[in-house]
Structure 1
C-alpha cells in the first residue's frame, strides 16, 4: 500500500512538471523573445513594414564599450564615432572605452613620473599630457601602416576582378575571389563585402561600407567607377584595368619621391628628437644642472619658450617632408 502510494505520488509529480514544461514551451513559442525578434524582422522586410523609428539592420553594430553605462557616457563625447571609425580603419580590436582607459593610464603614469622627478605642477601636467598622446600615436602609426598595405594591394585586386569578369564571373563572385586569393588586410575587407552581399545587403551599400572601413582614396575611385558602371553601363573589366595601371604608376612615383626625400625626413627626426634626448640624458647624469629650468622662474619661462618653438619647428618640418601624390 505504501509502495503504491509512493509510486503514484512520483508519477503525479512528474506529470505536473511535464505539464508546466509543456505550458512554458507553448507560451515561449508564441510570445518568447526570439519570436518577437523574428516578428520584428519579418515586419521590417515586408512591403510597407515599419518597425518604430529605428531602421533595422542585419549588420552587427560595433560597441563603444561592453558596459551600457560607459557607452551612454561615451555617446556624450563629441566625435566619438570618428575615433571608433579610426580604430576600425587601423585594424585594431580596441573599443573606444579601452582606448580611453589606455589614454588615462598613460596620463597617470606621466603624472607619477613627474612627481618622482619632483618637477613643478606645470611640468607634471605637460608630461602627463604628452604621455597621454601615446595611444593616439600608436593608433595613427598602425592606421598609416595599414593604409600603405591596402594601397599596395589594391592594383592586384583590381586586376584580379578584371580577369574574373573577362572569364565570365559575376562581380559579386569576383569580390569573393579577391577575398580568397589576396592576404589581409585588403583580402579580408573584400571578403567582408562579399559576405554582406550574400547576407542580403545591397551591393551599393556593401561597397560604400567598405569605403568607410578602408581610408584609401584609390579605393573610393574604384567604388565610384563600379557604381557608375552599374548605372550607365560599359566595359567594367577595361575600366578596372585602367584604374590598376594608374594606381601602380602613382605608387611608383611616390616611391621615387620617398627615396629623394629620405635625407630630409631623417634630418627632421634627428632635429626633433635630439633636444629631448639631451634633456633626458642631462636629467640622469647631472640633475642639479638641469633643475634650473623648473625651479628658477626665468628658467621656467625659458623652457616654455624653447619647448613651444621646438614643437612649432617639428610640425613645420613634418609638413615640409610630407609630400602627397
Structure 2
C-alpha cells in the first residue's frame, strides 16, 4: 500500500471513529435520561413495597454490565479483560460515560496523533509516539481525576470517623451514623457513604456493601476501617473507642506525610528544573540562532540524538520522582 493510500485510510478511520464516538455519547446520555426518569417515577412505589429479595433483583437488573450502546462494540468489549478495569476506573473517577465511548475517543485521538506525527517525519517511531501521547490523554485525565478523588477522600476520612464516633456515643445505630456522614460531610466521602447506606437499606449484606465500598475507593485507611468494623460485628468490642483511635492515627500519618513533603521539596523542585532546563535552552537557542539546531531536526543523526535525549530526560525525571516519594 502506498503512502498516500495509508494516510487516507488512517484519516478515514479517524473520521469514522469520531462519528461513532458522537453517536455513542448521544445515545448513552439519552438512555440514561430515560432510565433515570423511569426510576424516579417508580422508585417511590416499588422500593417501599417490594421485599428485600425483589429489591436485590431490581438492583441486579439495573446494574447489568454494559460497555457500549453500539452492539458490535459492546460484544467486543464484553470479551476484553481491560474493559472491566476501565469500567471500574470510570466508576472510581465518577466520569459519567461508558467504556465504549472512552475506547472510541482513545482510538480517534491515537489515529490523529499518528497522522500528525508521521506526516512531517515519515517515521513510524514518531507516529507511534504521537499515538501513545494523544491516545493516552483520556486515560491520563481519568487517572488524574481518580487520584484526586482518592486524595480528597483520605483527607476527609478522619473527620468522618470522629463524626461517626460521636453519633454512636449519642445512641445512634451504625446505619444512622453513616447516614449522618452522608448528610453532613462534603463530597466525595458523602457520596460514597450515601451509596453504602442505600445498599444496606435495600437489604445488601453488610460485608458485601463494605466490599463494594472498598472497590469504589482505593485507600488503605478505609480498608483498616472496614476490617475493624466487620471484626467488631462478629466478635464484639468498643467500636467508638476504635473509631477514635483510628481517626487519631490517620491524622498523625497525614502530619508525618506533610513533614516528609517539606523535607523533600528541594529534591522534587530540582527534578522539575533539570527536566525543564534542556527544553528551555533549546527554545532560547532556536530563537536567537535558528540555524544552530537545524541539524537536529533535519538529519537522521539529529533525529536519533533527539529521541535518545528525550528518553534519557524521561528516565531521569522518573528516577528523581521515585527517590523523593515515600509510601506510608
3-state secondary structure, aligned to 1:255? helix
Q: 2:201 aligns with which of 198, 204, 215?
A: 198
**Mind listing any 5+ residue stretches in structure 1 that lack a counterpart?**
1-37
Given the alignment, which residue of 236, 241, 250 partners 1:238? 241
2:75 counterpart residue number:
72
Separation of aligned partners in 2, 1:168 and 1:106: 55
Does the aligned pair in 2 maintain the 1:162–1:241 contact within 8 Å?
yes
- Cα distance, 1:86–1:287 mapped onto 2, change above 3 Å: farther
CA distance 1:288–1:109, change in 2 (3 Å): farther
Comparing 112-121 with 251-260, which one deviates more in the overlay?
Answer: 112-121
Listed as ranges, the matches of 1:225-304 within 5 Å are 225-276=228-279, 289-293=292-296, 295-304=298-307
Whether the 8 Å contact between 2:118 and 2:126 is mirrored in structure 1 is: no
Provide, for residues 173-193 of structure 1, a one-character-per-residue CA deviation record: whole Å limited to 9, x for no partner. Answer: 111111111110000000000
Asked whether 1:307 is paired with 2:310, we answer: yes
Q: Can you list the C-alpha shifts for 1:254-305, whole angstroms capped at 9, x where unaligned?
A: 1111122222222222322443455567778877654533542322332232
Structure 1 stretch displaced more, 282-291 or 205-214: 282-291
Q: Which residue in the other structure is 2:113 paired with?
A: 110
Give secondary structure in 2 for the equivalent of 1:79: helix
Are 2:87 and 1:100 equivalent residues in the alignment?
Answer: no
Deviates more, 1:307-316 or 1:213-222: 307-316
| Alignment partner, residue 86 of structure 1 | 89
Between 1:244-253 and 1:71-80, the stretch displaced more is: 71-80
Deviation at 1:152, TM superposition (A): 0.6
TM-score, normalized by length of structure 1? 0.76
* 1:24-71 superposed Cα distances (whole Å, 9 cap, x missing partner): xxxxxxxxxxxxxx9xxx9x949xxxx9xxxx8366245322223212
Aligned to 2:260, what secondary structure does the other structure show? helix
The corresponding residue for 1:23 is none
Once superposed, what is the RMSD of the aligned Cα atoms? 2.9
For 1:260 and 1:306, the matched residues in 2 are separated by 30
**1:179/1:190 contact within 8 Å kept:** yes
Higher relative contact order (CA 8 A, sep 6+): 2
Match of 1:188 among 191, 197, 222: 191
1:142 aligns with one of 135, 140, 145: 145
Unaligned runs of 5+ in 2: 1-45
Moved more, 161-170 or 257-266: 257-266
TM-score (norm 2): 0.75
Does residue 122 (structure 1) correspond to residue 122 (structure 2)? The answer is no
